[in-house]
């Protein structure tokens, strides 16, 4: 079942809503859409969970406006979804940029409607290195993604995919995943890359009071594993689940473990 939900600024978001039971809200990473959770969309409803996949503004089937790509605005969009669906006991699961948005939501909206949080290869609390933060990736790397988006977005995404996957996907899967990224608005792709580059969520971590699972690939070249350790130290009730054989794409590299660990966390 698909919902179209209007946000605070009349942007319409597409939300996939499948199954019954405990609701699990999935926030995708940059620059794809909720369909990246294809396996979880198939499996979780069979296990008694309600899969709720949100296409962030600018991505997938959601509207693609010219503004609203800060973490504050994206967190406010999530609040609109939670309010419209009347969720009060959900699990929030955010991957990469989606993990950063989930953290901002928990701080900005005091975790309304959320009982547990799963951070999946999260691009947080700070995605890029700076004078007082030695982790993350160099800002110039993100600047290169932005420049590539202007020059040849398809090629930039193809090159980005070489860092993304810890295990080389099949040619068919690679084509499909690339198509998810190409469905995004070019403007949203660039604007969200700037947010990833510049945002700082360190002060948000202490506001998270719900049980939190941090699933993170040990070989992640996009969001280095050090970020998971920083998040764990800043969130009171956090637990790291390392994925020793995964890069950034832990949902693909260790697919069965990824789903099993999520379900274990849901039921804990």
Give catalytic residues, as residue numbers: 96, 220, 248
Which positions ≥6 away from 167 have C-beta within 8 Å?
Answer: 245, 247, 249, 252, 253
CB burial of 143-164 (b: ≥16 within 10 Å; e: otherwise) equals eebbebbeeebeebbeebbeeb
User: HSE of 237 in the Cβ direction (CA atoms, 13 Å)?
Assistant: 12
Residue with tokens 């604007």: 191
CB burial of 237-267 (b: ≥16 within 10 Å; e: otherwise) equals ebeebebeebbbbbbbbbbebbbebbbebbe
Distance CA 70, CA 25 (A): 20
Distance CA 119, CA 263 (A): 14
Q: Are strands 12-18 and 2-6 parallel, antiparallel or unpaired?
A: antiparallel
Distance CA 63, CA 26 (A): 18
Q: Where are the alpha helices (DSSP H) in the chain?
A: 38-43, 71-84, 97-108, 139-164, 171-182, 186-198, 225-234, 250-253, 255-267
φ and ψ at residue 105, rounded to 5 degrees: -60, -45
């Amino acid at each position: 079942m698909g919902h179209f939900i209007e946000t605070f600024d009349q942007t319409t978001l597409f939300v996939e809503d499948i199954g019954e039971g405990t609701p699990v809200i999935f926030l995708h990473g940059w620059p794809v859409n909720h369909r990246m959770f294809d396996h979880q969309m198939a499996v979780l409803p069979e296990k008694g969970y309600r899969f709720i996949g949100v296409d962030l503004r600018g991505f997938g089937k959601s509207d693609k406006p010219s503004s609203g790509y800060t973490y504050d605005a994206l967190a406010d969009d999530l609040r609109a979804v939670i309010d419209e669906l009347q969720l009060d006991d959900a699990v929030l699961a955010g991957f990469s940029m989606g993990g950063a948005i989930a953290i901002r939501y928990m701080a900005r909206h005091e975790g309304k409607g959320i009982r547990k949080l799963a951070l999946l290869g999260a691009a947080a609390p700070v995605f890029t290195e700076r004078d007082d933060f030695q982790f993350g990736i160099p800002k110039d790397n993100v600047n290169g993604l932005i420049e590539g988006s202007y020059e040849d977005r398809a090629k930039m995404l193809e090159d980005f995919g070489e860092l993304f996957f810890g295990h080389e996907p099949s040619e068919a899967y690679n084509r499909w995943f690339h198509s998810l990224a190409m469905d995004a608005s070019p403007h949203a792709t660039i604007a969200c890359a700037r947010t990833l580059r510049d945002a700082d969520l360190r002060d948000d971590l202490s506001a998270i009071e719900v049980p939190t699972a941090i699933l993170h690939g040990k070989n992640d070249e996009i969001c280095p594993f050090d970020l998971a350790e920083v998040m764990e130290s800043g969130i009171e009730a956090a637990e790291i689940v390392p994925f020793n054989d995964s890069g950034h794409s832990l949902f693909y590299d260790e697919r069965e473990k990824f789903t099993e660990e999520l379900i274990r966390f849901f039921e804990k």
